[in-house]
Each structure stands twice: as structure tokens, then as C-alpha cells.
Amino acid sequence: MVKDKVKDFFKSRYNEDDGLPMRLDNASFNSISGEDNGMLVGAISEEEVKLAFWSCDSSKSPKPNDFHFDFAKFCWEFLKEDIITTMNEFADRGKWPRGSNTLFISLIPKVDNPQLLCDYRPISLFECLYKIVSKILSLRLKKVISKVIDPRKSTFLEGNELLDNVLVVNEVL
């Protein structure tokens, strides 16, 4: 009963439709080369997986299976082949093996004394492998994102700050 009310509340909150369809008829987009595309969708190397694992905080919140990243780091030599195989199966198929995508939803209070559902923020607690593949994909994307974002944009590019455009406009004025 309570679970259904919570689910309905957040479902309505995040499925709002403003009724205005997005149109991209006359938009032009930068593109990446075939080589860059190959790098983005290619096989995942051991170095990429290891870099992603070691960039995660070892003892941060336990995953639904109660294992921290330090467990995988400690047992790396024993686990690495299976982990790399799993990562590459995901890269090849674009989906996880059935049953491996378990997650838990947790409500984190946004205020000191939450009284209403809108006082909470839902987060999902994924298994380690989801976090690793996300890190690998984001590190790959980081290598090509400057080729697809217009050079006049200042955010989302390494070395640029969100307020760069504001400062430029201030100087112009």
C-alpha cells in the first residue's frame, strides 16, 4: 500500500509531459570519425576495467550483494577474467545477462525533518559492474566529446567552467 503510493508519487513527478514535442528538423550536428566510433563501441580492455575499478572508492556504501569495491580489488587476479568477459558481453550485446541487473531504490532526505515524499530524493543502488561500465563509457566519451560539442559552448568540456560564458558576457557588457 505505502510502496504503491511512493511509486505513484515519483512516477508522476518524473513522467510529466509538457505536451510540446521536440523538433530537430533544421538542426545540424557535429559528428565523430569512424575511428572514434570504433573506440567508443569497441572491445573493453583489461586496462580500462582496472582503471575504472581503481578509480572507485573502495569502502563506499556496500552494494546490494554486500561487496565493496575493495573486495574486487583484493581478488583482482582471480576475478579479472570474468569481469572483463562480462564487460565485453555487455559491449557486444548491449544488455546484461538476465538476473544481473538487480538494483535497490533508496529515498534520501533532502531536508532535516522530511514530512512529505517531495522531501526525499530517490537514488538507485546498482551492483559494482554497472558502475564500472558507466565509468568506462564515460572515460571513452570524454575522449571524443570535444568533437561533438560546439566550440562556443563552455560546459561539459574538460578545463572549462560553468561560469566561463557568464564572465565573457560580463566583460563584453
DSSP for 86-146 reads: HHHHHHHHSSPPTT---EEEEEEESSSS--SGGGEEEEEEE-HHHHHHHHHHHHHHHHHHH
The pLDDT, as a whole number, for residue 25 is 82
User: Which segments in the chain show pLDDT lower than 70?
Assistant: 16-20, 58-68, 97-104, 124-127, 151-157, 162
The pLDDT of residue 99: 65
Rounded CA-CA distance 28/157 in Å is 20
How far CA 139 is from CA of 75, 115, 118, 161, in Å, comes to 24, 39, 33, 19
What pLDDT is recorded for position 47? 92
Task: Look up the pTM and report it.
Answer: 0.62
Rounded CA separation 113/119 (Å): 8
Write down the pLDDT at residue 89. Answer: 85
Contact 146, 157 (CB under 8 A): yes
CB 84 within 8 A of CB 49: yes
- Cα-Cα-Cα-Cα dihedral of 9, 14, 18, 24, to 10°? -170
| Res 34: pLDDT | 92
* Calpha distance 109→122 (Å, rounded): 9
CA–CA separation, 84 and 61 (whole Å): 23
β-pair partners for 27: none
